[in-house]
Amino acid sequence: MNDNAADGVGAEIATAAAIDAAARILENGGLVAFPTETVYGLGADAENPLAVRTIYLAKGRPADHPLIVHLAAGADPGYWSSNVGALAEKLIAAFWPGPLTLILQRAKHVPDIVAGGQDTIGLRCPAHPVAQALLHKFKAGRGGLAAPSANLFGHVSPTTAGHVREEFHDAPLVQCVLEGGQSAIGIESTILDLSREKPMLLRPGGVSALQIAQLLGVMPGAPDAQAPRVPGALASHYAPRTPVVLAPGAGLAEWLNALVSSGRRVALMRHTLQHDADQAHTAHAFAFSITSMQMPAAPDAYAHALYAALRQLDRTKADVILVEALPDTDAWRAIHDRLARAACGSAERMSHLIR
Ligand code: TXA
Ligand code: MG
């Protein structure tokens, strides 16, 4: 396999035969990683508690963290939720298949372990054609696949099949990784909780709060103390091994100077173009201390590239990943959210460098 294929560029998409075989593995209680338009998922039969337990084992994820159940387009959400309701129906009609997960009351027959013991259930209908083909084959379209992102607990989510293999290279529990190229969106779905009085946005993502508000006529609220615990909402999550620092507004050059002058190797993620003067300065003084990655300037393209960039910069063995400050607008909200979580705890991890 060449590097491009490993990165999902020009990778071959799973064949019908591979998808068929994957559906059989799932029906027999095995685990299959599959592509979605957000990130790759690690799937198991949502109605098989032992299979779901295996997901937690493979990821090293605490078993009280609920999973999202993925459904085929056109499947009946009423099978999974005792109380779908008019708001959910409106959202489903507008945004499914797509990057929107709905938290609804859980139907009694849905195993406890899928929901991490909560009386609610997360439902999502992914838009990726391979995910849909798999969901239509699996139990003839009438089943659900419990699937968290296909990464070890707390680590960066995978956006290519190569990333999934990197995460689980020796893991005997992951029986198959379906190829689907690079995930188009690149960050996880929006999570909207409809199980309480007022819609609550638990995680920003590809469907924005504004789009939801326009459809429902009410702005979703921010999670409060009563909101369910969501591991994706843990302060630290989606983190590479290298500490991540978000440069404050205009302070990028100053941060670079300070870090490099104190002997640090810096992996820099910037999305604005470097000024010439800046560049000359960097080239002469810091050439050996800085690896610079040019990110796209538009938010959708930035999100698409984000996790692959973090993985790549992680491999440079830099002391710190320094991220240029992002615009403070709605379109960048989900990216802000993921980078803030990736940066969380980095100060402590860096303290040994700064001594
Ligand atoms: O885009 C995505 O959502 C990807 C792809 C694979 O579909 N999946 C994903 O799954 O990001 P995961 O497990 O990494 O994150 C799912 C989030 C978790 O933060 C989990 O706590 C939350 O969804 N969640 C699932 N069910 C829930 C429930 N019943 N109540 C509250 N939060 C729930
Ligand atoms: Mg995850």
C-alpha 7 to ligand 1 mean position (Å): 24
Q: Which residue has the higher pLDDT, 248 or 214?
A: 214
**263 contacts 293 by C-beta, under 8 angstroms:** no
Residues with CB under 6 A from ligand 1: 36, 38-39, 41, 65-68, 101, 103, 115, 118, 120-122, 124, 126, 147-149, 188-189, 191, 202, 228, 230-232
Amino acid making up residue 190: T
Tell me which residue has tokens 């960066």. 156
C-alpha 105 to ligand 2 mean position (Å): 22
Q: What's the order of all strands across the beta sheet hosting 244-246?
A: 244-246, 320-323, 266-270, 290-294
Tens of pLDDT, residue by residue over 78-136, are 999 989 999 999 999 999 999 999 999 999 999 999 999 999 999 999 999 999 999 99
Judge whether residue 351 has pLDDT over 90. Answer: no
Cβ neighbour number for residue 154 with a 10 Å cutoff = 16
Q: Which two tokens stand for residue 275?
A: 């000024």
Tens of pLDDT, residue by residue over 41-86, are 999 999 999 999 999 999 998 888 899 999 999 999 999 998 999 9
Phi-psi region of 71 (alpha: psi -120 to 50; beta: other; left: phi over 0): beta
Entry pTM: 0.90
Q: What share of the chain in percent tops pLDDT 90?
A: 72
